[in-house]
Structure 1
Amino acid sequence: MLVNVSYNNPKIKRKIDAEVGKPFPLTERIKMGGIGSPGLDINAASLEIYNLLILDNNQNRCNIEMRPGGIIVGFRSLLESYALVIPYYKLNIYKGKAEEYGIYKDHHFIKVGATQKATHRFFQKIINYKIDNSPTQIEDL
Structure 2
Amino acid sequence: MAVRLTINGEPKTVDAAPGTPLLWVLRDHLKMTGTKFGCGVAQCGACTVHIDGSPTRSCITPHDSLDGAEIKTIEGVDGRAADAIREAWIENQVPQCGYCQSGQIMSAAALLAENPSPSDADIDSAMSGNLCRCATYMSIRRAIKDAASKV
Q: Would you call these one fold, judging by a TM-score over 0.5?
A: no
Higher helix share: 2
Q: Which has the higher strand share?
A: 1
